[in-house]
Amino acid sequence: MTVTLEVDEGVGTVRLDRPPMNALDSGTQDLLKEVALEASGRPDVRAVVVWGGEKVFAAGADIKEMQAMSYEDMVDRSRALQESFTAVARIPKPVVAAVTGYALGGGCELALCADHRIAGENAKLGQPEILLGLIPGAGGTQRLSRLVGPSRAKDLIFTGRMVTAQEALAIGLVDQVVPADEVYARARAWAERLARGPAYALRAAKEAVDAGLETDLETGLTIERTLFAGLFATEDRTTGMRSFVEDGPGKAVFRTAG
């Protein structure tokens, strides 16, 4: 299995394991979708870490596989390619990408599907598809521009250049830079903290932000208002407000299952 899901204390680790560079061939893409859907549906998974191992996150698509594909082949495959990444982006729980080494092409696009990105000091990220006579096809032109702005996204996409972890941090492509040997531990700590939080509120917060970015402000406010009101029906809201009144802020203990 080139993609697996390991669950421990509310944190699901989506592990890419296709040595030596975690190239994302079609089989790996299909497994990624399966695992993302599993993480989405499992109540014992409350936060997710996407991790490629200590040496490399993912160096991109399998170019040898792609080279042999015709236009008709890619017309048939491109939707499945995007759907595998979209399945990660739509996991209704907090998702953090733990990036070590290369995150290029599809690897960078996979990191873009996370809510938070923690990179090692050795990380290099980029969208080099233009060097193959292509453009990003798994969300890079869309998610990258929404994250770092159109001008910076075009610079990376037009040139195909790689950026260091520090430049990625400066332009907002990653959120933290840590020593390479601490990446997974830091990502897991981020996920563990949120795994103890109110699951339905976190889900609503993610949906409100993501859906709101795709529409106008007025519609976004309607989405927010609806989700906000709906949380008044949850046990976590009762627990959180009772704890605040009786014990002060930040001391609520939420359900850790379901």
Query: Is 9 considered catalytic here?
Result: no
Task: Please indicate whether residue 121 is annotated as part of the active site.
Answer: no
Chain-centre distance for alpha carbon 164: 19
Please count the residues of the chain. Answer: 258
C-alpha 168/C-alpha 165 separation (Å) is 5
Question: How far from chain centre, in Å, is Cα 97?
Answer: 6
CA 215 – CA 235 distance, rounded (Å): 30
- Angle among Cα 108, 111, 114 to the nearest 5 degrees reads 155
Active site residue 65: no
Residues 6+ apart with CB under 8 A from 253: 239, 243
Look up 240 and say whether it is catalytic: no
Q: Catalytic residue among 103, 109, 153, 205, which? A: 109
Rg (CA), the chain: 19
39, 47, 59, 61: which is the annotated catalytic residue? 61
Half-sphere CA count of 66, side-chain side, radius 13 A:
16
Query: Quick check: 60 and 101 in contact, CB under 8 A?
Result: no
From the list 106, 107, 137, 140, the catalytic residue is 106
Tokens of 173: 């492509």
Q: Which residues contact 191 (CB under 8 A, 6 or more apart)?
A: 11, 47, 48, 49, 94, 96
d(CA 160, CA 148): 16
d(CA 16, CA 114): 15
From 39, 103, 129, 204, active-site residue: 129
Helix (H, G, I), strand (E, B) or coil at 125: strand
Q: So which residues are the catalytic ones? A: 61, 106, 109, 129
